[in-house]
Structure 1
Amino acid sequence: MMKWHDLLSTKRIGEAANAPTGREESPFLLDLDRITFSSFFRRLQDKTQVHPLSVGGRVRSRLTHSIEVASVGRSLGFGVGRKLLEKGTDLPAHITAHDFGYIVQVACLSHDIGNPPFGHAGEAAIQQWFEDHGDSVFDDTMSEAEKLDFLKFEGNAQGFRILNRLDYFKADGGFRMSHATLGAFTKYPGDATTNTNRLIEGKKAGFCQSEKALFEEIAQSLGLIKRGEDTLWCRHPLAYLMEAADDICYRVADLEDGVTMECVSFKDVEHHLAPLAWSHKHGDTIEARRDDLLAQDFYQEKSESEKLGFLRSKAISNLTKATVQAFMDHESDLLNGHFDNELLAVTPFAEEAQACKKFAGQSIFGTRRKLEIETASFELVDVLLSRFCGAMQDLEKAKGDRSAVSQKSMRLLNMMDNQPFDTSSRYQTLLQVTDFISGLSDRAAVNLANVIRGNSI
């Protein structure tokens, strides 16, 4: 059974046990500061949430989405922390309900930090390129597990790599975030070799082979339970709150953005959000709650935009309260590693929330403009990976001597921002390319691919 004393660890990668643990108000606020001021976090302002290359701030980017998720996550964490304290749970003496809120807030704020340009389409494009070119870029020094880091490239694993390798103290602990926050961040506590749909933790990779030892150290510190496989653990219980905050925001906010982008009608969105926005009473049907809200005088008097704001606000509020209660109802299973579901799926609003997800998938995610840009992203990623992998392989053959590579490769290398380079192995060579390309914003990827093809001179 996992214990809260371990799960709330303030230890940090790369720091001595007696090092300062963070700001005086809370040890976890240092995590928040480092994420907030990171260049990787800033780049989310120009990365796809749902609608690629949107302009004018009309709809959410990954940055605004992450900020909204963090707001909900803080409320979820605080709500759970308060209830745990109220029932007398054995917690470290310095821990407050706000600390739970900060841990989940930071996990939420950074949950998409590893996403490549063009979101899930960008992930698929990277995977496809390595599937098509693996024979020419992989070599005999790479293990099958290392190859899977590219063949199943995953933004969650890249995010863990960023937090622990690529910023601030870089190879000496990265952001040096607390173990508790890293545990709450890791939605999929396993590597690509355990990719399985049988368990909620194993659906995707949460770390690469390059960070496997780091995660093992964190998992041991937190007391995470092994899932019976060498590279898969049970989630940190607070990771379920991070997941729920993300689910709440995208199931509600994606519909709001759909109205803004004229992908769906206001009436259709109202139909789906009204049952979430009106208090759930025992025995009430979804239709009864919808009709009850729509009949209220205060609601009828609002403009369409005001109604949309009301629906979004109340739906998020109701889902947040229900999720906190669901966590408390299942706390024992969460600590024992027996919970294998989404928290939203065990709330009274499960059916309504699932209907919102299904409606968005059918009506918003398949718009022609979105599909056109995502299709183009495969070509853009192909250009970038082909050129930069080629340049890095040239540098590898030259044993790191830039003067010995071609003029073309030298210029490509000079455009990469993760220097100095490590060409000690093919695995490290390829990681540096995916680090660079996945770190690009949508427009930076488009512009760089056009420059390389000679179209933007």
Structure 2
Amino acid sequence: MQRMDWQHLYSPLRTGSSERKTADPSGIRTSFLRDYDRIIFSSAFRRLQNKTQVFPLPGPVFVHNRLTHSLEVASVGRSLGKAVGDALTEKYPEQYGEEFREFYKYELPSVIAAGCLAHDIGNPPFGHSGEDAIRNFFRQLEGQERSRFEAELSPNQQRDFLYFEGNANAFRTLTHNFNEPTLGGFRLTYATLASLVKYPCDSLNGFDKRHLATKKSGFFDSEIETWHAIATALGIPQPDVTKNSYARHPFVFLVEAADDICYRIIDFEDAHRLNIISIDTIARLFLSFFDEETGYDARDRVEKIFHDINDDNQKVQFLRAKLINLLIFRVRDIFMEKENELLTGSLDKALIDHLPARELALVKEIDAFSVQHIYNHRSVVEIEIAGYNVIGGMLKEFFGAVLNPRNVKSEKLLQLISKQFVISGVPDRFYNDIQSIVDFVAGMTDLYAVDLYRKITGMAFPQIR
């Protein structure tokens, strides 16, 4: 496979534009800082404040939502980018020139932070169960609906819905112009976009769990050409040119690691606030990471500070900060050790899975505990079931309207869909019309989805505004 090159893995070129192929360092904000700003000021990002992370929202106890989670992942990602960027410039002080040094020393943290900030921007309401609800709806199509779905959509297009994936939807959200005249969506740099495509393959070649890069999918049929342009510009290998499947960009591993670190630790913090996990359990698992540390991070020193803190929530916050810091440096070292595999596209496990055996065993114990006590907690299961009903119910109404757009009720239903999601009613654009209703539903917040579902099903009577 073609070997990637650190010099060509970044570019300020933006989607929807062929201009400014070099970064502009003269402004207050560099090209890559602009990416972060464009994401954080967007409506799609703000809506994450009312999308479920794990536990239902809102509640009497504050827990993380998709927005607070994304902000924290971005913070960890920025630190990882800084740590790795410094390590690369120290390893290659003269070999690649000043532009290489400027990017990796000063810009990589912004790229990784922006990728982290946007990594969940395509997730539907109700957590991961929202993705399952969309898949479930299309898998249960019957009769004429199923016949038309299979007759008018290519196999890859069908799988975009049968295996709906939030990661692919994030790439679409950020790059598709929807009903706007300006191409390129958010018009982010190729470097930032490449850093968040964890599974660089289409739906037809994805969902092959034998390999990390094809575990899920990273772009829909409608965004294949956009991804191909990015991959070509950055020199990302395509092992088989007959398949829309590519090697992972090395920056993806840092975005993924930031998310892997955060959700494991933060989900425990939320569970503690909800009295699902005891302080003793958290102390046992988190402090064990420091058993073999020395100096400032020696276990006896960390444990003493932990016990000196009076408030249990503050105790958890202290351990969370110490553990995140420890794992940032572990991931940096693993990234540098695996440099050759990263550049050849042969690294087939996440960075966190390359932790030393003792620490990896602790991570697996955290995962097992989370599955048993957090992800299958009654409140989590309840919101997952609600997601199936609400999302499935709305898709049933809107999909029926797309199938029969001239029906009186259908005409009314389609009026509820935002104008940015075009419903053409043209037979050869059936795939695009289905995408529009999925775009509309996936972009909803939890509360808006529940409110609209109640209204269109007659469970609640709309108020005149």
TM-score by length of 2: 0.90
Equivalent residue number for residue 449 of structure 1: 453
Aligned partners of 1:37, 1:297: CA distance in 2, in Å?
Answer: 42
What percent identity do the matched residue pairs reach? Answer: 37
1:371 maps to 381
Whole-angstrom distance in 1 between the partners of 2:439 and 2:181: 13
Partner residue of 1:400? Answer: none
1:52-63 to structure 2, matched below 5 A, reads: 52-55=56-59, 58-63=62-67
1:9 to 8, 11, 17: 11
Instruction: Work out the CA distance in 2 between the residues paired with 1:444 and 1:315.
Output: 36
Pairing partner for 1:329 from 322, 333, 337: 337
SS of 2:152's partner is coil
The corresponding residue for 1:194 is: 205
Alpha-carbon distance change, 135 to 445 in structure 1, aligned in 2, over 3 angstroms:
same
Tell me, in whole angstroms, the C-alpha distance in 2 between the residues paired with 1:253 and 1:351.
Answer: 19
The 3 A distance-change label for structure 1 pair 355 and 103 is same
Match of 1:41 in 2: 45
For 1:118 and 1:311, the matched residues in 2 are separated by 29
Unmatched 5+ residue regions in structure 2?
A: none
Alpha-carbon separation, structure 2, partners of 1:121 and 1:293 = 41
Q: State which drifts further: 3-12 or 131-140.
A: 131-140
3-state DSSP class of the match of 1:233?
coil
Quick one: structure 1 residues 416 and 280, their matched pair in 2 at CA, closer, same or farther if it must change by over 3 Å? farther
Is 1:258 matched up with 2:271?
A: yes
Q: Which amino acid aligns with 2:235?
A: G
Shift of 1:237: 0.2
Question: Does residue 249 of the first structure (1) align with residue 253 of the second (2)?
Answer: no
C-alpha distance in 2, partners of 1:313/1:167? 40
Check conservation: 2:12, 2:22, Cα contact below 8 A.
no
Does 431-440 or 416-425 show the bigger shift?
416-425
Find out whether 1:220 has 2:232 as its counterpart.
yes
CA deviation after TM superposition for structure 1 residue 169, in Å = 5.6
* Equivalence for 2:246: 233
Structure 1 pair 297–280 and aligned structure 2 pair: CA distance change class (3 A):
closer
State the alpha-carbon separation in 1 of the partners of residues 407 and 369 from structure 2.
52
CA distance in 2 between counterparts of 1:329 and 1:231 reads 29
Residue equivalent to 1:109: 117
CA deviation after TM superposition for structure 1 residue 279, in Å: 6.6
Contact 2:178–2:421 (CA under 8 A) maintained in structure 1: no
- 1:62 deviates by 0.4
Aligned to 2:317: 309
C-alpha deviations, 1:61-82, integer Å up to 9, x for none?
A: 0000000000000000111111
Name the CA distance, whole Å, in 2 between partners of 1:172 and 1:423: 23
Residue identity in the other structure for 1:266: I
Deviates more, 1:162-171 or 1:221-230: 162-171
Shift of 1:142: 1.2
- The answer for the alignment partner of 1:412 in structure 2 is 413
Shift of 1:183: 0.7
User: Structure 2: which amino acid aligns with 1:44?
Assistant: L
Q: Residue 26 of structure 1 corresponds to which residue in structure 2?
A: 30
- Unaligned stretches of 5+ residues in structure 1: 283-288, 396-404
State the 1:221 CA deviation: 0.7
Distance of aligned partners of 1:184 and 1:57 in 2 relative to their CA distance in 1, 3 Å threshold:
farther
For residue 300 of structure 1, what is the amino acid of its counterpart? H
SS in 1 for 2:176: helix
Q: What is the SS of the residue equivalent to 2:397?
A: helix
Q: Deviations over 1:274-325 (max 9, x none)?
A: 123x37449xxxxxx76x467x443322122221111100000000111111
1:180-202 deviation per Cα after TM superposition (whole angstroms, max 9, x unaligned): 11110101100111120111010
* Distance in 2 of aligned mates of 1:97 and 1:454: 57
2:306 pairs, out of 276, 293, 299, with: 299
Of 328, 331, 334, which residue of structure 2 is paired with 1:320? Answer: 328
1:126-175 deviation digits (Å, cap 9, x = unpaired): 10100011615505231111100000000001010001114796771111
SS for the counterpart of 1:365 is coil
CA distance in 2, matches of 1:107, 1:168: 24
Alignment of 1:270 with 2:276, yes or no, is no
Deviation larger for 359-368 or 296-305 = 296-305
For residues 55-110 of structure 1, what are the alpha-carbon distances to aligned partners after superposition, in whole Å with 9 as ceiling and x for unaligned?
35610000000000000000001111111111125263542422110110000000
* Native 8 Å contact 2:273 2:313 kept in 1: no
Counterpart contact for 1:273–1:356, Cα < 8 Å: no
Residue 90, structure 1, aligned to residue 90, structure 2: no
- What do residues 406-436 of structure 1 show as CA deviations (whole Å, max 9, x unaligned)? 4422222121113443344110110001000
Deviates more, 1:60-69 or 1:83-92: 83-92
| Residue in 2 that maps onto 1:204 | 216
Partner of 2:364 in structure 1? 354
Specify whether residues 419 and 208 from structure 1 end up closer, same or farther in structure 2 by C-alpha distance, changes over 3 A only: closer
| Contact kept in structure 2, 1:79 and 1:97, CA below 8 Å | no
CA shift, 1:350, in A, is: 2.2
CA distance in 2, matches of 1:298, 1:67: 27
> For residue 421 of structure 1, what is the aligned residue in structure 2?
423
Cross-structure match for 1:68 = 72
2:437 maps to a residue whose letter is: V
Query: Is the CA contact 1:168–1:174 (under 8 Å) kept in the aligned structure 2?
Result: no
* C-alpha distance in structure 1 between counterparts of 2:301 and 2:54, whole Å: 29
Counterpart CA distance in 1 for 2:399 and 2:157 is 16
Matched to 1:298, the amino acid is I
Q: Is the Cα contact below 8 Å between 1:70 and 1:245 reproduced in 2?
A: yes
d(CA) in 1 for partners of 2:75, 2:425: 41
The code of the aligned residue for 2:379 comes to R
**d(CA) in 2 for partners of 1:377 and 1:18?**
44
**Aligned mates of 1:317, 1:72 — CA distance in 2:** 9
1:119 Cα deviation from its structure 2 partner: 1.6
